[in-house]
Structure 1
């Protein structure tokens, strides 16, 4: 599978990719992704393994993401 570069420095890129609950406050960790907004809610798991691309409407797994800061 091709690698997807996510440029978080660009505002349009930041809003394009979302956690499973629709937030844009996600961050990569060692082997998964984590969402700050989800962590602030009760009974919501802030850890997940794929982001949602709102432009292409596809899920992109963590192993395909490369952050270009």
Structure 2
């Protein structure tokens, strides 16, 4: 840890963030639903946010369309 702290203090720029996970009993309540990154558990640096969002939007659209029929 001391080496890490020394390196952070010596760095010209440093990015630091926290990671957390929220466990929810459901992904929807009434007319509100989690979509995109909020509804998927992708690896932090996978770069899959956009593709997961588009896939989620596609399936949500299909389910909404099926519910109308």
Normalised by the length of structure 2, the TM-score is 0.26
Q: Which has the larger share of helix?
A: 2
Q: Flag the structure with more relative contact order, 1 or 2, with Cα contacts below 8 A and sequence separation at least 6.
A: 1
Normalised by the length of structure 1, the TM-score is 0.26
